[in-house]
Amino acid sequence: MTVVVEKKFAVDVVYNGVTKPIEVQPEEQVTALLHKAISSFGITQNAHLLSLYRQDGSLVPEGESVERAGLMPNEVLLLRPNTVKGGGGLLQLACSIVHKAFRILRECGRGECECVVYWTGPAHESLIDGLEHPDHQRSALGYQVNDGWLTTFWKALGASKRSIKAQIHTHPTEAFHSATDDEWPIVSQAGFISIVIPDFALGQPSLENAWIGRLHINGKWQKLASMREALILA
Amino acid sequence: MTALAELDRMILLSRDHVAPTLSDDEICQQFQSLKVLCVSDPHSLSSHSAQTVLFTLVALLSRMGMQVGLNLPDTAVLLPQPPFLGSSLCEALLASRRKLVTEATVRSDSDFKADVIFVVGDFPGKLHDVPCWYLTGSDWLGSVAMRGIAKPEPWSARLPVGAMVSAALAACEAFKFVMRSLPLRNPSDAVFFEPSFSSSWNFDRITVPLGERIDLGFVDFVSAGAISQAALFALSRFPGIEMSGRIFDDDITEASNLNRNLLTVATDLGEPKVQIASKHCSVGVRLEPVFGRCPGHTSDTRLARRVVVGVDDIPSRWRIQERAPNWLAVGGTSHYSVSSSVHTPGSPCSGCLHPIDDDGGEGRIPTVSFVSFWAGLATTVRLLRDALGQPYPPERQHLWLTPLRMDLLHAGMWIPVAPRRDCPAHCLASISMI
């Protein structure tokens, strides 16, 4: 005889002051719970901005299962706006990665060509712990990444559950986002970060003079006032 | 100037739920057609708290474009009720017609046929058979209850916070009354707009010295928009307040601000918001208007020990937090919800609470008078409590309140703020996690 143990339980989700019980399974992803809650309340406006919060004020991590997130039966969760999803959070990275990026951009560009690198990290974390220097064609006016390299790179990212967190490229003089930069980022997801380094990266290895922008959900680039609005240097 | 321009943000908010087939004009007309009668009794109106209920309620209703009728015994205004002007209650209220929102009238005609009635305290006359709520309360607690649920109770409270709570609860009932008359996009959304038979909110009593001045010291207000104006509207009604400080903003008043900027009147359009906020406060609230970008953008402005922030822009909150480490109150709204928090040394900061730039600042922000007012009122209560040495405990560092269904258990939730490892303001609480 097989005994089936019922593991399903309900949590109470509060939205606009109204509480609804939502049933979950322990192994279910928190993202699935979030979607169920959004659907249950019939939210169609800015649903992508909503997250679940515990009564201790902490965010329920969306990359976890219900069980690993520690959700308990009848726990009260607040459904409220949090963030522009799609990598819109602050990215943490070590200063050494900034220095490494500058070194590659300088050595490859030699003070006469644009160059590009990508910062990478675990797909579900706001952490940058890797750097990729793509196979590319370059000139003083721009760069073009090799299609074959890109295909291999995407596959490798998928297999290792990693993602590109930001693209960093150089300009000959002024740092700005050109129409081409606007049109062809390596990632077109809202929240993606693009950084443009002036003077072929020949200056100090710092992001203080860089142009830093975030791709908005409306498809437009928003220039950030400083790197601190996108990055935390450890 | 049209009502559509003045009520634009409220119409936008209603569109969260109203069927898309309705035009803005139709939504606007529905709000403008609502007739709300406010009545009271002589005993109640001899108190500053009941007068505050009426002035606040008329302000909130008018800023939704509604038509207000009055059936009140006239009496002297006991304490200033800015931006209302006049020495008698009826004179001041009637003079506000078409001044808060240009097509919102305030009348005392005997043939005013009300759709909704609000009774402040008690009413000796006969009330028509339309939805009717009684507004009651004490110093820090405000309530509304439908006729038949609660008994009339004259106002006698000394302090006006409960009065303003009661007015905000009533204004929401009027808003929901209109929303119930509009077709909704999703029928299940009707739950948000059901009438509250009885609801209340309590900011919790604290000891306030009787008859003494309450010195709030020097306070900086960053932003002169809806939340700061609501906070100053509330502060200006608190007896005995003494406060000086500065108010920073670089914005000019537009027609679309009239629906929520509680110290602003229609003739103020085109004026800097800082000038309006400064000139309409009560005598005890002295603010130097500083027309310019918020102080977080420059490094040469020292901020006061207490700072109130009402800016929508999240990175500005981080910058101000970094420069205002002593006591920072942040008020904000998101659609129908209100966020109010205080950040003191060692506690998780506003960067921990609002860690992500939601980039909503460039578009039209949906909002309505009573929601912005709740955010300002909650901020004022925090300021008063701090000045009186009775702040809320850490588990009440953040208030998330959605004032639509205040009859439900979780309409307002007090929550601690959790520190975040990736706090953009790098506060002590976040650093201690690393």
Reported as a single tens digit per residue, the pLDDT across A216-232 is: 655 678 888 778 778 87
CB of B336 closer than 8 Å to CB of A45: no
Instruction: Report the pLDDT value the prediction gives residue B275, as an integer from 0 to 100.
Output: 97
Q: Is A183 on the interface with B (CB under 8 A)?
A: no
How far away is chain B from the Cα of A196, in angstroms, using its nearest Cα? 20
Q: CA-CA-CA-CA torsion for B268, B269, B270, B274, nearest 10 degrees? A: 50
Is the pLDDT at A86 greater than 70, yes or no?
Answer: no
Residue scoring higher pLDDT (A186 or B14) = B14
A83–B404 CB contact, under 8 Å:
no
Instruction: Report the pLDDT value the prediction gives residue A87, as an integer from 0 to 100.
Output: 35
Instruction: Give the whole-angstrom CA distance, residue B145 versus residue B155.
Output: 15
Crossing angle of helices B161-180 and B369-387, rounded to 10°: 160
Q: Report phi then psi at B120, rounded to 5.
A: -90, 105
**Paired residues of A214 in beta bridges:** A193, A222
Is the pLDDT at A171 greater than 90, yes or no?
Answer: yes
Q: How does pLDDT run along chain B (434 residues), one tens digit per residue?
A: 589 999 999 999 999 999 999 999 999 999 999 999 999 999 999 999 999 999 999 999 999 999 999 999 999 999 999 999 999 999 999 999 999 999 999 999 889 999 999 999 999 889 999 999 999 999 999 999 999 898 889 999 999 999 999 999 999 999 999 999 999 999 999 999 999 999 999 999 999 988 889 999 999 999 999 999 999 999 999 999 999 999 999 999 999 999 999 999 999 999 999 999 999 998 899 999 999 877 755 556 789 999 999 987 777 787 888 888 799 999 999 899 999 999 999 999 988 888 776 654 446 789 999 999 999 999 999 999 999 999 999 999 999 999 999 999 999 999 999 998 778 787 888 877 76
Sort out which chain A residues have CB atoms less than 8 A from B424's CB and list them. Answer: 90, 228-229, 232
Is the pLDDT at A85 greater than 50, yes or no?
Answer: no
Instruction: Report the pLDDT value the prediction gives residue B144, as an integer from 0 to 100.
Output: 97
When the pLDDT of each residue in chain A is averaged and rounded to a whole number, the result is 84
A19–B409 CB contact, under 8 Å:
yes
Instruction: Report the pLDDT value the prediction gives residue A83, as an integer from 0 to 100.
Output: 44
Cβ partners under 8 Å of residue B301, min gap 6: B295, B323
Instruction: Report the pLDDT value the prediction gives residue A51, as an integer from 0 to 100.
Output: 87
Tens of pLDDT, residues A5-51: 668 999 999 999 999 999 999 999 888 899 899 889 988 766 767 88
B192–A88 CB contact, under 8 Å:
no
B357–A78 CB contact, under 8 Å:
no
**Paired residues of B306 in beta bridges:** B219, B327
If you measure CA to CA, which chain B residue comes closest to A17? B411
Share above pLDDT 90 across residues of chain A, in percent, rounded to a whole number:
41
Is the pLDDT at A122 greater than 90, yes or no?
Answer: no
Concatenated DSSP letters of B418-433 = PP-TT-TT--HHHHTT
Instruction: Report the pLDDT value the prediction gives residue A78, as an integer from 0 to 100.
Output: 94
pTM of the model: 0.79
Of the candidates A42, A57, A84, which has its C-beta nearest B189's C-beta?
A42
Instruction: Give the whole-angstrom CA distance, residue A211 versus residue A142.
Output: 16
Q: Which amino acid is at B10?
A: M
Burial group, residue B297, by CB count within 10 angstroms (0-12, 13-18, 19+): middle
Instruction: Report the pLDDT value the prediction gives residue B361, as an integer from 0 to 100.
Output: 44
Residue B110: strand, helix, or coil: coil
Instruction: Give the whole-angstrom CA distance, residue B51 versus residue B128.
Output: 23
- Which two structure tokens, joined as six digits, stand for A130? 């890797």
Instruction: Report the pLDDT value the prediction gives residue B322, as an integer from 0 to 100.
Output: 82
Q: Report how far apart, in Å, the C-alpha atoms of A73 and of each of A9, A30, A55, A78, B22 are.
A: 6, 14, 14, 15, 41
Instruction: Report the pLDDT value the prediction gives residue A88, as an integer from 0 to 100.
Output: 43
Which strands, in side-by-side order, build the sheet including B285-291?
B285-291, B241-249, B214-222, B306-309, B327-334, B337-343, B398-401, B412-415
Which strands, in side-by-side order, build the sheet including A91-93?
A127-128, A91-93, A231-233
**Average pLDDT over every residue of A200-227:** 83
Instruction: Give the whole-angstrom CA distance, residue B348 versus residue B426.
Output: 10
Element (H or E) spanning A138, and its range? strand A136-139
Instruction: Give the whole-angstrom CA distance, residue B141 versus residue B189.
Output: 29
Instruction: Report the pLDDT value the prediction gives residue B171, as an integer from 0 to 100.
Output: 98
Ordered alpha helix ranges (H), B137-219: 161-180
Chain B interface, mutation test: which of A41, A59, A90, A218, most B Cβ atoms within 10 Å? A90
Instruction: Report the pLDDT value the prediction gives residue B358, as an integer from 0 to 100.
Output: 60
B404–A53 CB contact, under 8 Å:
no
Instruction: Report the pLDDT value the prediction gives residue A186, as an integer from 0 to 100.
Output: 82
Instruction: Report the pLDDT value the prediction gives residue B212, as an integer from 0 to 100.
Output: 86
- Which two structure tokens, joined as six digits, stand for B395? 């588990």
Instruction: Give the whole-angstrom CA distance, residue A134 versus residue B348.
Output: 41
Q: Which amino acid is at B101?
A: V
ipTM for the assembly: 0.88
Instruction: Give the whole-angstrom CA distance, residue B59 versus residue B368.
Output: 12
CB of A192 closer than 8 Å to CB of A86: yes
Instruction: Give the whole-angstrom CA distance, residue B103 versus residue B252.
Output: 22
- Which two structure tokens, joined as six digits, stand for B93? 């209220």
Instruction: Report the pLDDT value the prediction gives residue B164, as an integer from 0 to 100.
Output: 98
CB of B141 closer than 8 Å to CB of B203: yes
How far away is chain A from the Cα of B392, in angstroms, using its nearest Cα? 16
Residue B355: strand, helix, or coil: coil
**Paired residues of A210 in beta bridges:** none
Cβ partners under 8 Å of residue B125, min gap 6: B39, B71
Element (H or E) spanning A98, and its range? helix A95-109
Residue scoring higher pLDDT (A211 or B426) = A211
Instruction: Report the pLDDT value the prediction gives residue B351, as an integer from 0 to 100.
Output: 86
Sign of the Cα pseudo-torsion (B319, B321, B325, B326, in order): positive
